[in-house]
Amino acid sequence: MPPNPETAAAQPARPFLGFGLGLRTPHFQQVLEQSLPVDWFEVVSENFMVAGGKPRYFLRAIGERYPLVMHGVSLSIGGTDPLDFDYLRQLQTLAEAVQPAWVSDHLCWTGVGGRNSHDLLPLPYAEEVVEHVAGRVRRVQDFLDRQILLENVSSYLTFSGQSMTEWEFYSEVCARADCLMLLDINNVYVSARNHGFEARDYIDHLDPRRVQQFHLAGHSDYGDYVIDTHDHDVPHPVWELYRRALRRFGAVSTLIERDDNIPELEEMVTELEFARRIYTDESAAETDCAP
Ligand SMILES: [Fe+2]
């Protein structure tokens, strides 16, 4: 894909944290004791909401050495239950303690009627849902007094009566709510395979000014369908899609997430170095193409 002149001209002045890892419990001690080529860490907000105790000790100590971002799973921004302001108050309190570079959650719903599915469920891609979600995002941003990032989730089903593509829906919600995107490249790949669309179309249609962070992860490929398991290394097609995203969006803070079958920290760092090398290659190629 050639460099996009429109994108280059409109390269947003977004903060760039570099290359980070999802902070996981088995690695806490090692992260504190060693000097690692990791630029920043992402923490799951809900794991640290109880004040005191060992998790908060490690969070504070690691936060003194590395930039942190907070990533939540409980906002249910697309749900129809009222927004949970008790949860938002806890989130705000944690953010005051952590001082994260930013706060993110997912473009999804997680339950209804007070019941939590403990899953990140996809939304119907339709105009009335855009309006519903964007209104809720604006209220959350007003409450937290900050812009939030929303992550695209992987999906395995579609709703009847949809009137737009997933990337159109994602773009419209973020534009109308004036929020930012945490673009999960693996989730784009997983959903593309499951629903039969072109992953590159997704990347090519997003507004670069909205994209503030990338997630990279692995999945389980069953041939006819793909599941977003986060228990494997980042596979080749996701790296290829990452290259395309870098060419389109430029320098975007990149994070590798692993939630199951968590390897030694050294292995995660090696994978992160591979991401850094791809970024360096793509930046050099862009410079070579410059007039
Ligand atoms: Fe993700």
pLDDT tens, residue by residue, 73-85 = 999 999 999 999 9
Residue 217's closest CA among 251, 244, 184? 184
CA of 28 to the centre of ligand 1 (A): 20
Tell me: the pLDDT tens digits for 230-279? Answer: 888 999 999 999 999 999 999 999 999 998 888 999 999 999 999 999 99
Token look-up 């630029």 returns 39
SS3 143: helix
Report the mean per-residue pLDDT for the chain.
93
Which long-range contacts does 234-239 make (Cβ < 8 Å, 24+ apart)? 234/186, 234/271, 234/274, 234/275, 237/189, 237/199, 238/185, 238/186, 238/189, 239/274, 239/278
pTM of the model: 0.93
Q: What is the per-residue pLDDT for 11?
A: 60
Q: Which CATH architecture has domain 5-289?
A: Alpha-Beta Barrel (3.20)
CA of 152 to the centre of ligand 1 (A): 8
CA of 142 to the centre of ligand 1 (A): 25
Tell me: the pLDDT tens digits for 49-73? Answer: 999 899 999 999 999 999 999 999 9
CA of 140 to the centre of ligand 1 (A): 21
CA of 289 to the centre of ligand 1 (A): 32
Angle of the 166-177 helix axis to the 127-144 helix axis, nearest 10: 40
Q: What is the per-residue pLDDT for 2?
A: 38
Q: What is the per-residue pLDDT for 123?
A: 96
Angle of the 236-249 helix axis to the 185-195 helix axis, nearest 10: 120
In this model, does residue 6 exceed pLDDT 70?
no
Q: What is the per-residue pLDDT for 231?
A: 82
CA of 71 to the centre of ligand 1 (A): 9
If you compute the radius of gyration of the chain from its CA atoms, what whole number of angstroms results? 18
Tell me: the pLDDT tens digits for 101-129? Answer: 999 999 999 999 988 888 999 999 999 99
CA of 260 to the centre of ligand 1 (A): 13
End-to-end CA distance of the chain: 17
In this model, does residue 155 exceed pLDDT 80?
yes
Give the whole-angstrom CA distance, residue 270 versus residue 37. Answer: 9
CA of 187 to the centre of ligand 1 (A): 7
Instruction: Give me the half-sphere count of Cα atoms (radius 13 Å) on the Cβ side of residue 98.
Output: 32
Question: Average pLDDT in the 1-28 region?
Answer: 75
CA distances (Å), 25 to each of 22, 94, 258, in order? 10, 18, 12
